Structure 1
C-alpha cells in the first residue's frame, strides 16, 4: 500500500470514528475514500465495516457515563438489535443490494423526521403516561423494541446511517435525555456491527483487506474517543442540528447512488 493511500485511509477512519460517536453514518466518509483509492466495492464495504468496530468500542467507552441508569433499556433492546443484525446479515447473503438501496433513503427521511419532531412526540407520550398514573403505556415499549429490531435488520444489511435511525427511535420512546439515547445507540450499533463482522469472517474471509481493516481500526479508535468528548458537550438543540445535517448528507449520497444506478 502506498504511503499516501494509507494517510487518506487513516484520515477517513479518524473522521468516521468521530462522527459515529456523535451521530453515526461514518461509513459515508470511509467507503467513498476506499472506492476512490481503487478498492472493489464489496471488499471496501466489508473491510471498512470491520475496521470501524474499534471506533464503536471507544465510542461506547467515551459515553459510559450517559449509560448510567440505562441497564433496563439495554437488556430490553440489545437482544432485539442482535437478532435484527443476524437477520440483516442473512438477507445480505440472499437478497440483491438494490433492495435496500431503494428503501434506505425513505428510512433516513423517516428517521430525520423523528429526530426533528422528537420534543413534541416525547411530550405526547409523557402526557399519555401521566394520564396513566405516570406509567408508560405497554405499547410504547413494544413499538420501541420492534423498531430497534428493524433498525438492526437495516444495520446488518446496509450498515450506513444506522445510528441516525436509532437516535430517532430512542429519542422518542426511551426515557432519558438525547445524550442517553446517543449512548445506547452506540452500544446497539456496535452489537449489530459485531454480528456483521462475524458473518464476514465466516462467509467472506477472502474479501477482507486486513491492511485497510488495521488502518481504519487504529484511526477510528482515536476518533471514537474524540467524538464522545465532543458529542457529550453538545446541547440537545445543537446535537439535534448536527444529526439532521449529517442525515441530510447521508440522504444526498444515497439518492445520488440510486439515481446513478
Structure 2
C-alpha cells in the first residue's frame, strides 16, 4: 500500500465519519474506498468495521453528556448492541458468502420508507414508546452492523424515531454510539479471526474519528424534518446501489 493510498483512506475516512454521523451511510464512502486501494470484498468489509469504530469514538468525544443523560436504559441498550455486534461478526466469519447481502437492499429501502412516514407512524402508535420492540430490533440491527453495516445507521434512525420519543438529534447521537459499540465488539473478533488490513484500518480510523467529532454540531444546525427526509432519500439511493451496483 502506497502513501497515496494511505492519504486517500484518511480523507475517505473523514468524509465517511461526517456522512456516517449525519446520515448513517458511512459505508457508502468507506467501503468503496477500501476496494479502490485493492482490498478484497471480505477484507474490505472487516477492515471497514474496524475503521468505523473511529466514527463512534469521535462522535462520543463530542457528545458524551447526551449519551449519559439518556439514563440507565442506555446501558441495557449498550449490552444489546454489543451482543448483536458479536453475533454479526460470527455470522460473517462462518456463513457462506452472499448469504445475507441479498436482503440488505430491501432492509435499507424499508427503513428509508419508515423514516419518511415516521410522523404518521408515531401518530398511529399514539406517541407511545415501545421499549421491548426497540430492544429486540436494536439487537437485530447490531447483528447486521457487525455483519456488513451498510445502511445500518438509516435502519437505526428509523427504529429509534418510531419506537421512542427521542428527537432526531438525540437519535443521531445514540445511533453513532450504539452502532460504534457493535462495531467495536465485531472489530475485536475480526482482530483475532478476520483478514483485517491494519494499515488501511488505521488510516481510515484517523479520518473517521475526525469526521465523527465534527458530526454532532453539524447535525444540531440542520432542521429535523429536512434531516429526516434527506436521510430517507439517501437511504433509497443506497438501497438502489446495493441492489443494482
Where in structure 2 are the equivalents of 1:52-71 lying within 5 Å?
52-67=52-67, 69-71=69-71
CA offsets 1:42-84 (integer angstroms, 9 cap, x no match):
2222222212211211112323354353124413322222222
**Mapped pair 1:162 → 2:152:** yes
Aligned partner of 1:133 in structure 2 is: none
| 1:188 matched residue in structure 2 | 178
> Structure 1, unaligned stretches of length 5 or more?
130-135
Could you report, residue by residue, the CA deviation over 1:197-243 in whole angstroms, capped at 9, with x for unpaired residues?
01101212xx2222111211111111111222211211111111221
- Where structure 2 has 5 or more consecutive residues not aligned to the other structure, the ranges are none
User: Residue deviations 1:88-126, cap 9 Å, x none?
Assistant: 112112212312111111111111121111111222333
Structure 1 residue ranges, 4+ long, deviating more than 6 angstroms after superposition: none
Cα 1:73–1:181 shift into 2, 3 Å: farther
Give the number of the structure whose alpha-carbon radius of gyration is greater: 1
Rounded Cα–Cα distance in structure 2 between residues aligned with 1:150 and 1:182: 18
Task: Verify: 1:103 aligned to 2:103, yes or no.
Answer: yes
2:236 is aligned with 1:248: yes
Aligned residues: 245
Q: Say whether the 8 Å CA contact 1:27–1:49 is kept in structure 2.
A: no
CA contact (8 A) 1:178 1:236 kept: yes
1:97-176 matches, cutoff 5 A: 97-126=97-126, 129=128, 140-176=130-166
Indicate conservation of the 8 Å contact 1:114/1:168, yes or no.
yes
8 Å CA contact 2:169–2:220 kept in 1: the answer is: yes
Give 1:18's aligned residue.
18
1:222 aligns with 2:210: yes
Q: Which moved more, 1:189-198 or 1:44-53?
A: 44-53
Residue 238 (str. 1) matches residue 215 (str. 2): no
1:68/1:123 Cα in 2 relative to 1: closer, same or farther (>3 Å)? farther
The alignment's TM-score, normalised by the length of structure 1, stands at: 0.87
- Aligned position for 2:29: 29
Q: For residues 111-157 of structure 1, give each alpha carbon's deviation from its aligned partner in whole angstroms, at most 9, with x where no partner exists.
A: 11211111112223335x5xxxxxx5xxx211111111111111111
Q: Report the Cα distance in structure 1 between the residues aligned to 2:76 and 2:206, rounded to whole angstroms.
A: 31
Query: Does 42-51 or 186-195 show the bigger shift?
Result: 42-51
**Mean alpha-carbon deviation: is it higher for 193-202 or for 69-78?**
69-78
